[in-house]
Structure 1
Amino acid sequence: MNLTVKTYPNNTAPKLTYDVLIENQQDSGVSATVLGLPDIKSFGATKEEALNKLIQLLQERKPEIVTLEIEPPQTEHPWMKFAGMHKNNPLFADVLEYIEAERSQVDLDNETK
């Protein structure tokens, strides 16, 4: 399996965006939680304070975006083992004629409906 990691220089890295759940707490405070990262959570007296603390937490972790390009393993198509298995069968031509006759009959039946 081939694996390629693409990284960005610090000056051209795209901005990271996060969806954040804001919840009012019973003690009249506010919590902010990064969706998908429940361990990154902050609390504040106001929404702005909770978000600012959350930004600080994220910046301390120094997140980075990395793109992985993974080539799938080269495997034979599962039907390839059956390809050509009847090429030398003397009855194969008869089977094809039967299939063609059945298809023609189905077409005729559909035209008369």
Structure 2
Amino acid sequence: MNLTGKTTHLTTAPNSTYDVLIENQPDGTVKATLLDLPDCQGLGNTQTEAIEKLTQSLQTRLETAKIVTLEIEAPKVKNPWMKFAGMFKDDPQFDEMLEYIEEDRREVDAQMEKYYQQLDAENETK
């Protein structure tokens, strides 16, 4: 697995949008919680005050922390079906089998078309 990282040092919260959960508390206060960081919260008497305190809390946290972006390369998984790929390429009956499948598909399609026409005719008479 390959990992590449990019480090960004910030002294204020990056200009971005955040999802915030606003909850009225039993004691009448309001709690704002940053959903991406549930332990980053602000408590206030109003929603605006709670959000302001949350913003201050996030900015304070980012003064001593850093945001790292990781790009993780997905592991290369061998497809288990690949061992069967091309196994009939030299089989002289392969083309004949494909023709059989195509003919069978045409017959089934014709049967279904006839069935749907009958259903349409029955629905028109009702």
Q: TM-score, normalised by structure 1?
A: 0.69
How far residue 32 of structure 1 moved from its aligned partner, in angstroms, is: 1.1
Residue in 2 that maps onto 1:66: 68
Residue in 2 that maps onto 1:102: 101
Paired residues for 1:27-66 under 5 Å: 27-62=27-62, 64-66=66-68
Give the aligned length.
109
Alpha-carbon distance change, 41 to 8 in structure 1, aligned in 2, over 3 angstroms: closer
User: Is 2:10–2:66's contact at 8 Å kept on the other side of the alignment?
Assistant: no
User: Is 2:23–2:30's contact at 8 Å kept on the other side of the alignment?
Assistant: yes
Residue in 1 that maps onto 2:17: 17
User: Is 2:9–2:66's contact at 8 Å kept on the other side of the alignment?
Assistant: no
Matched-pair identity in %: 50
Alpha-carbon distance change, 106 to 83 in structure 1, aligned in 2, over 3 angstroms: closer
How far residue 46 of structure 1 moved from its aligned partner, in angstroms, is: 1.9
Write the distance in 1 (CA, Å) between the matches of 2:44 and 2:14. Answer: 28
Q: TM-score, normalised by structure 2?
A: 0.64
RMSD of the TM alignment (CA)?
A: 3.0
Write the distance in 2 (CA, Å) between the matches of 1:3 and 1:28. Answer: 47
Alpha-carbon distance change, 49 to 10 in structure 1, aligned in 2, over 3 angstroms: closer
Write the distance in 2 (CA, Å) between the matches of 1:47 and 1:33. Answer: 11
SS at match of 2:97: helix
Write the distance in 1 (CA, Å) between the matches of 2:108 and 2:56. Answer: 73
Q: Relative to total residues, which structure has the larger helix share, 1 or 2?
A: 2
Gaps of 5+ in 1: none
Residue 82 of structure 2, aligned match among 74, 80, 90:
80
How far residue 59 of structure 1 moved from its aligned partner, in angstroms, is: 1.2
